[in-house]
Amino acid sequence: MSNLETEPDELVSHDGPAAGIHVLEPREVPLGGPRAMTVRRTLPQRERSLIGAWCFVDHYGPDDVAETGGMTVPPHPHTGLQTVSWLFEGEVEHRDSTGAHAMVRPGEVNLMTAGSGIQHSEVSTPTTTRLHGAQLWVALPDRDRHTAPFFEHAEPAPITVGTATLRVFVGELAGSSSPVRTFTALLGAQLDLPAGTSVDLPVDARFEHGLLVDAGTARLDGVEIPGAHLGYAAPGRSSVRIAAGDSPLRALLLGGEPLGEPIVMWWNFIGRDHDEIVAFREQWQAEVIDGGDAAGRFGTVEGWDHALPAPIMPDVRLRPRD
């Protein structure tokens, strides 16, 4: 999914030490148009910019497509990141400039590595009546961020741990692993728990973790995480206890080894300094929006005759921070 804000904030991400459990509140972001889809964004924000290399968490729905119009995102660019698409309801058609054409369906993961540059489109299918899911971004480390773009699709098999059902779509957890490629140590899994039950999960003590609550309420190591909120747990835990409240819990458990690198994230680009972001934007406008080079950095998405122009850059320099 694109960041469709017409005046995107300067998103400066950095790793900061933290201890204990912190609860991050979502902010609502409309994705444009008179019947805009509204997403709940919990990452990045002032209190926390990264969880491992996870740098962007949008949570949306359940939306009645008859009211919102569903998802129609024309081709738009990305650099320096991976997008991870995960649905609870509905179906979305993905096309990108590597030639990939795939559906995003509940319980299946689409992972797109932008690397040096890519463009893609996302459109909910005509049969979709309700749309509900999460769009996640992963920052690529400096050594890998110029890799050639590619696309992967996987269907993680559910596993049972105690009363919990897990679907591991990135990394490894409880003996289950995902085949999709990552460039840093990461974890992404859907967790379902019956009401009033809990589960203890062994985790990598190097990782920091986030629990995004989709349905119900959760307790993460004893701290309550309300619906649509993101609970953050600092590194140093070899296990986490997750408990459901009075209704069934559905949540995403995200984790990773701290990235340890400053990044600058603006609109749909991730770079390392202001000038690099400016160059990405200028190249997108010249090659794609103005039709200068269909074989350039971002390539072409088949089936489209237009793409999203980039917003105007802010009149201050974007600053990476340590």
The greatest distance separating any two alpha carbons of the chain, rounded to the nearest whole angstrom, comes to: 59
DSSP letter for 256, please. E
Q: How far is CA 198 from CA 80, 215, 251, in A?
A: 37, 15, 13
Query: What's phi and psi for 307, nearest 5 deg?
Result: -140, 170
Query: What's phi and psi for 256, nearest 5 deg?
Result: 175, 160
**If we measure between CA atoms, which residue out of 29, 49, 132 comes closest to residue 89?**
132
**Which residue bears the tokens 């088949």?**
302
Whole-angstrom distance, CA of residue 88 vs CA of residue 66 = 18
DSSP letter for 284, please. H
Side-chain-side CA neighbours of 79 within 13 Å: the count stands at 24
Whole-angstrom distance, CA of residue 253 vs CA of residue 204 = 13
Whole-angstrom distance, CA of residue 160 vs CA of residue 164 = 6
Side-chain-side CA neighbours of 13 within 13 Å: the count stands at 27
Contact (Cβ atoms closer than 8 angstroms) between residue 41 and residue 5 = no
- Print pLDDT tens along the chain (322 aa): 556 655 665 444 333 333 489 999 999 998 765 556 889 999 998 889 999 999 999 999 999 999 888 999 999 999 999 999 999 999 999 999 999 999 999 999 999 999 999 999 999 999 999 999 999 999 999 999 999 999 999 999 999 999 999 999 999 999 999 999 999 999 999 999 999 999 999 999 999 999 999 999 999 999 999 999 999 999 999 999 999 999 999 999 999 999 999 999 999 999 999 999 999 999 999 999 999 999 999 999 999 999 999 999 999 999 886 4
Question: How confident is the model over 291-313, as pLDDT tens digits?
Answer: 999 999 999 999 999 999 999 99
Whole-angstrom distance, CA of residue 153 vs CA of residue 158 = 16
Compute the C-alpha angle 190/141/83, nearest 5°: 40
**If we measure between CA atoms, which residue out of 128, 45, 140, 31 comes closest to residue 84?**
140
List all residues 6 or more positions away from 312 whose beta carbon is below 8 Å from its beta carbon. none
Dihedral (CA of 39, 11, 265, 43) sign: negative
pTM: 0.93
What is the reported pLDDT for 30? Answer: 86
Question: How confident is the model over 43-72, as pLDDT tens digits?
Answer: 998 889 999 999 999 999 999 999 888 999
Give the amino acid at 73.
V
**Which residue bears the tokens 């590619």?**
150
What is the reported pLDDT for 47? Answer: 84
